[in-house]
Chains A and B, each alone.
Chain A
Amino acid sequence: MPPAADQWVLLVYRLQREPSTPRIALWRKLKRLGVAQLLDGLVALPLDSRNREQLEWIADEVVELGGAASVWIAAPGGAAQARALAATLQAAVAEEYRAVIDQAHTAAAMPGGRQRRTLARLRRQLGRIRRRDYFPPRERELAQRAVEALAERLEAAA
């Protein structure tokens, strides 16, 4: 069971459906931060100064685009609710780590040059996932090891 964060920062927003490009760009930004979507137009992140700041900038951007948005600091009403939210976020990054592990295994059969490029890409990808990994799952360590194993294999072949 992942630890529960006591405090969360919430972004409540509404943005017109059309044009869809800014909506998609907005959603991509939120995904990059690793938000939990509570409802349509309501997302949450564990509270820290970086997450709060990033959501505040996004709120301003929504307003700039003609939508409505506000940022709130909140505590879950109960421990079970907090755990469920943390578990959702943990499951999402676990899935991302598993994709890295699969790609690291697939890369082992590739020729050297492609293996090297895949290694560089997977390392960058791992870095990105770690930034939004607020409740580290077991897969974090496994993904790290799979990528390092690929690096060692390349080193040995050189």
Chain B
Amino acid sequence: MRWATRAGVHVDRTASAWLIRRFVDPDAEFLFVGDPDEVPADATAFDMRGAELSHKGGDCTFETLLRRYELDDPALWAIARIVHEADLEDERYDAPEARGLDVLLRGLSMIRSDEEMLELAGALYDGLYEHERRATMLGGEPS
């Protein structure tokens, strides 16, 4: 399937693309557009004004995707809290990791293309997922 989002990806879009490829559509192909009007008819838009898979009722797109695809893995929700705070900074959650993730991705986006961002951030989220998975299993910080 083809998926489209706004160019100039940051936390919420990289995390959402990772989630889509890893848990929703392993063959996902991503395109980046400048305006919602440029989304091709056969592509599913996400993190974009007017798209169903977007910010909704105070949730960021990553959270909307978790709800839409009924992904209730606690490790994914742990990542969702970090992504939410990095993206919205509304202090709904206590996620001190958010500030660090925001800075790392902001820096990367200055020197890498959107395609490369998905690659690099993907590895980061794979690691974060593993970390949160072990943390949920152990009920504490994994060593």
Contact = CB atoms under 8 A, between A and B. Distances in A.
User: Do A and B originate from a single complex?
Assistant: yes
Interface of A: 29, 32, 49, 54, 56-57, 59-61, 64, 127, 131
Contacts of A60: 49-50, 54-55
B8 A32 contact: no
A127 to B, nearest CB: 7
Give the residue among A54, A60, A127 with the most B Cβ atoms within 10 A.
A60
Contact of B89 (A32, A59, A61, A64): A32
Contacts of B54: 60
Interface residues of B, number: 12
Dominant secondary structure at the A interface: helix
Interface in B44-65: 49-50, 54-58
Contact of B90 (A29, A56, A64): A29
A56 B89 CA distance: 15
Given A49-B8, A60-B49, A60-B55, 8 more contacts: A29-B90, A32-B89, A32-B90, A56-B49, A57-B55, A57-B88, A61-B58, A64-B56
B22 interface: no
Nearest to B96: A124
Contacts of B57: 64
Contacts of B90: 29, 32
A32 B91 CA distance: 10
A6 B63 CA distance: 35
Interface of B: 8, 49-50, 54-58, 88-90, 99
A42 B97 CA distance: 34
Contacts of A54: 88
B28 to A, nearest CB: 23
A10 to B, nearest CB: 16
Contacts of B88: 54, 57
A32 B56 CA distance: 19
Contacts of A49: 8
Considering the complex of A and B, which 4 residue pairs feature the smallest CB-CB distances, nearest first? A57-B55, A56-B49, A60-B49, A49-B8
